[in-house]
Structure 1
Amino acid sequence: MPSGSWSWPEIKQRLQCPVDEDADYENTTWCNRDLIPIPPERRTYGVWSYFGYWTVSGSCISAWSTGSTLLSFGLSPQQAIGVVILGGFLSGLLAVFCGWMGEVHHIGFTVSSRFSWGMRGSYFPVILRSFVACMWFGMQAFWGGQATRVLIGAIIPGFAHMKNYFSESSHLQTNDFIGLVIWMCAFIPAVLIRPEKLQIPFFICFVFFCGSCFGMLIWAVSQANGPGDLFHQPGSAPNTGWAFMFGITAILGSWGSGTLGQSDWVRYSKRRYAPTLSQLVACPATIAITATIGIIVTSASNKLLGGEIQWNPIYLLADIQEYYSSSPRVRAGVFFASLGMVASQFSISVVLNSVSCGMDLAGLWPKYINIRRGAYVMVVIGIATQPWQLLSTADKFLAVLSGFGVFMAPATGLMLADYHIVRRHRLKLSDLYRGDSSSLYWFRHGVNWRAFVAFTAGMWPLLPGLAANVNAWDEGQWVGWLRLYNLTFIVGLAISFLVMWALNYLFPVAGVGVEGPFIEGVIDGVSSESEEKEDVRGDAKTPDVSFV
């Protein structure tokens, strides 16, 4: 072998994820730095940090556009605002229970899946979430690129009308592509920021987006002398009760994936209950305020600009600049407002996509993928899906992607039942990183069949409604299935919760009630003398201390 060349074992060693100095863990098939229970020195999120997290999650373009979904159910704007407040509170309550294992055990969703699905079975929900996250990131990135295009167009008016050099079949404008490249160049370095250091970026993005929202609100209401005609239109739903329930489910579905992986972020909490207040207050407040502003601005701007109702604030900003013939004052306003939209797309892509998806992908190959590397994989896959094609031509695909609540809801329900009811918050953490039959969570061949049965039970009643919605089948014979589908998150969660509970009662699993630390004799990073030790097979005896 030539001098200075590396052997294959050396190359593999260098490609492995970095390990902390004096680390008490190793990179294995089940473990790396980003999957271990977060040690005390990396728990940097307090009460205000979680307010920042939820303001970023709730104050975003998706929340702004929620009104279009709720009004399409036949609700009046006032009824829609009530739905948003109640739905936001229920989302926050769901986040509290989904994030419980993060607060108590400081583990994320990827590791948490192992005690419900089995060590090998956990790959299924992890792959499912990763797929959805990659697709949604591509779309969020494209919207970020369009916000960047509007921002540049406010500086250089001719940029908005520059010649398109792409073919018509590509469904991509040259200026949109340039905006996407610039947005990606700014986003990729943000992936280098560790999750425990994101509080300040969260705050900055929130301030920018709030400035955009209230600036557009002041402009619209002052110019239209009120909220506009749309805001005062009556509800058109033949059954207000059904429409109200559909609306609540829509809110839960929109933020459901985020609540399912809530432990990914809650595990960074400095102390117990630090995230709870923000989950119950900041979550519903920010979603409700942003959605209300979206309804008012859309209504007032429609009166001013006329034409088609524009729910997307990015496109609305471009329309405003066109309407006022790119006057200097309007360009300045559009610039600062679009800056908030760009910042919002940065923050939401980090919160709901890069960190969570990075951790999920890390769980698939922990030796070589950590959060940062997983986020880069997500970026490549997300852009490779060509989101501009999906957004322009694939209505059915988008309907399917939006219908992934059909799968997320049952996954949420069975996890809640297993952790809160069956196991009563007791976990043997060391066994969540042991991939053989000595682990309590190995079950049969690494798979817990109960989880798959509960998942299927919560999913299959919703599939006919999903198919009818995607294919726009006649509502006459499908109305019952469509109504059930419109209650996706509530129905899917409830069924899988009850089935998982019943299966564990009828077919009990071994080791329920057994708990223990990640490292023997160390709890929450503090060493303690342990009187009882594990035997050779890892069977747990009664530990001398427990997690509280």
Structure 2
Amino acid sequence: MKSVIEFLRVQSSDRAVSNVWINDDIRPLPPARRTWTTWAYISFWGINQICLSNWQIGASLVSAGLSVWQSVIAIVIGKIIISVVAIANGYVGAEWHIGFAVLSRYIWGIRGQYLALVQRIILSLVWFSVQSWTGGLCIQNVLASIFPSYQRMKNHFPASAKMNTKQFIGWVIFNILMIPILYIRPERMKHVVLHMNIVSAITLVCMMIWALSAAGGAGPLVSQPATVSNAELGWGIVSAVTTVIGGIAVGLTNQMDYSRFARCPGDQVAGQWISIIGFGAIMPVFGCLASSASQAIYGEAIW
């Protein structure tokens, strides 16, 4: 029976062939690379949720006039919408194991898809620029903690540069540290991101606990009312939800690039629900609590 099946099976195409019509970005992902489980998707999306950008998102909403708890409501609504879109866009990849390159072709056409790809590349550069700058600031603080003299380093940049030498060095070091990670194949990233999430979660939670302990409570910010009028509150929350979604909207367009690594279609569903809504809503709350406590400690809220 096995020999009959082998005889009837359509022969695989030569994977060495690579041109505009067929290449490894177009071919369905081979079974050997479909290794992401539910836990892998929890870890993958945790990178976007257990991080400083998500920790600080409450700052932008509070500064827009919402109270802390109104901001939390807007964040939860935004995360639910993100989850739905991520799962819907990822279904094609999880079911058929094809990526954004294929999806963009049957929407835009063979040549029109270059427009979508160029837009995606440009937006990815902007996204990484923001993340790398935040990472550079973290490196700067780490170096200043280890070497106190680093904090007193002379600035060699003019005021028009909008950054100083310490920040620039931190940014360069962060980018250098990221280079080796680029060589890790996506199907092997699940253990790397898991360890990163553990370190990030421990760090951020410890920061919050320390701030609450030092302040003797949550601080005044959590009880501060909204500064927008009741007439503006509805649109303020709508704007806040849009802000939450806008931070990851670009990444949602090519969600199938990640979901195609799913071992089975259901893995991406459960993993994204848990991580995006769970961690995505909890970390901004922790950030708001820590910031409110910092206001009691230092006299101003530090985000």
Q: Give the TM-score normalised by structure 2.
A: 0.90
Q: Deviations over 1:285-316 (max 9, x none)?
A: 11111110111111110221124x332xxxxx
Deviates most, 217-226 or 129-138: 129-138
- 1:85–1:285: 8 Å Cα contact kept in structure 2? no
CA distance 1:207–1:166, change in 2 (3 Å): same
Q: Match for 1:271: what amino acid? A: C
Displacement after TM superposition at 1:168 (Å): 3.5
Residue 154 of structure 1 is matched in structure 2 by: 145
Residue 272 of structure 2 is matched in structure 1 by: 279
Distance 1:233 1:79 in 2: 11
Distance 1:157 1:84 in 2: 37
- 1:47 alignment partner, one of 23, 34, 38: 38
Distance 1:206 1:219 in 2: 20
Distance 1:135 1:255 in 2: 12
> Is 1:250 the counterpart of 2:243 in the alignment?
yes
Residue 214 of structure 2 is matched in structure 1 by: 223
- 1:73–1:246: 8 Å Cα contact kept in structure 2? no
- 2:215–2:293: 8 Å Cα contact kept in structure 1? yes
Residue 78 of structure 2 is matched in structure 1 by: 87
- 1:196 alignment partner, one of 166, 187, 194: 187
Instruction: Identify unmatched segments of 5+ residues in structure 2.
Output: 1-12
After superposition, residues 7-46 of structure 1 pair within 5 angstroms as 23-24=14-15, 26-46=17-37
- 1:76–1:233: 8 Å Cα contact kept in structure 2? yes
- 2:25–2:99: 8 Å Cα contact kept in structure 1? no
Distance 1:155 1:122 in 2: 48
> Is 1:233 the counterpart of 2:224 in the alignment?
yes
- 1:86–1:284: 8 Å Cα contact kept in structure 2? no
Distance 2:158 2:72 in 1: 42
Displacement after TM superposition at 1:23 (Å): 4.7
SS of the equivalent of 1:191 reads helix
SS of the equivalent of 1:128 reads helix
- 2:156 alignment partner, one of 161, 165, 173: 165
Q: Match for 2:41: what amino acid? A: Y
Q: Which has the higher helix share?
A: 2
Q: Deviations over 1:333-357 (max 9, x none)?
A: xxxxxxxxxxxxxxxxxxxxxxxxx
- 1:58–1:287: 8 Å Cα contact kept in structure 2? yes
- 2:25–2:101: 8 Å Cα contact kept in structure 1? no
Instruction: Identify unmatched segments of 5+ residues in structure 1.
Output: 1-21, 312-548
Distance 1:66 1:75 in 2: 12
Q: Greater CA radius of gyration, 1 or 2? A: 1
> Is 1:116 the counterpart of 2:102 in the alignment?
no
Distance 2:16 2:142 in 1: 46
Tell me the matched-pair count.
289
- 1:76–1:236: 8 Å Cα contact kept in structure 2? yes
> Is 1:310 the counterpart of 2:295 in the alignment?
no
Q: Match for 1:216: what amino acid? A: M
- 1:84–1:284: 8 Å Cα contact kept in structure 2? no
Distance 1:182 1:172 in 2: 15
> Is 1:289 the counterpart of 2:285 in the alignment?
no
Residue 525 of structure 1 is matched in structure 2 by: none
Distance 1:310 1:245 in 2: 25
Q: Match for 1:265: what amino acid? A: Y
Displacement after TM superposition at 1:53 (Å): 0.8
Residue 196 of structure 2 is matched in structure 1 by: 205
Q: Match for 2:234: what amino acid? A: G
SS of the equivalent of 1:275 reads helix
Q: Match for 1:247: what amino acid? A: A
After superposition, residues 135-146 of structure 1 pair within 5 angstroms as 135-146=126-137
Q: Give the TM-score normalised by structure 1.
A: 0.51
State, as a whole percentage, how many aligned pairs show the same letter: 31
Distance 2:60 2:161 in 1: 28
Displacement after TM superposition at 1:121 (Å): 0.9
- 1:89–1:281: 8 Å Cα contact kept in structure 2? no
Residue 181 of structure 1 is matched in structure 2 by: 172
CA distance 1:142–1:247, change in 2 (3 Å): closer
Displacement after TM superposition at 1:171 (Å): 3.2
Displacement after TM superposition at 1:102 (Å): 0.5
Displacement after TM superposition at 1:30 (Å): 4.0
Distance 1:138 1:256 in 2: 16
CA distance 1:251–1:166, change in 2 (3 Å): closer
Residue 293 of structure 2 is matched in structure 1 by: 300
After superposition, residues 477-488 of structure 1 pair within 5 angstroms as none
SS of the equivalent of 1:241 reads helix
Distance 2:71 2:131 in 1: 25
Displacement after TM superposition at 1:25 (Å): 5.1
- 1:81–1:292: 8 Å Cα contact kept in structure 2? yes
Q: Match for 1:231: what amino acid? A: V
Q: Match for 1:297: what amino acid? A: A
Distance 1:286 1:94 in 2: 17
Q: Match for 2:302: what amino acid? A: Q
- 2:100–2:257: 8 Å Cα contact kept in structure 1? yes
CA distance 1:105–1:185, change in 2 (3 Å): same
- 1:164–1:175: 8 Å Cα contact kept in structure 2? yes
Displacement after TM superposition at 1:45 (Å): 0.2
Displacement after TM superposition at 1:72 (Å): 3.2
Distance 1:60 1:145 in 2: 14
Distance 1:274 1:31 in 2: 28
CA distance 1:182–1:226, change in 2 (3 Å): same
Q: Match for 1:274: what amino acid? A: D
- 2:123–2:250: 8 Å Cα contact kept in structure 1? no
- 1:94–1:259: 8 Å Cα contact kept in structure 2? yes
Displacement after TM superposition at 1:247 (Å): 1.8
Q: Match for 1:244: what amino acid? A: I
Q: Deviations over 1:81-105 (max 9, x none)?
A: 1221221111101111111110111
Residue 438 of structure 1 is matched in structure 2 by: none
Q: Deviations over 1:394-420 (max 9, x none)?
A: xxxxxxxxxxxxxxxxxxxxxxxxxxx
Displacement after TM superposition at 1:176 (Å): 2.0
SS of the equivalent of 2:19 reads coil
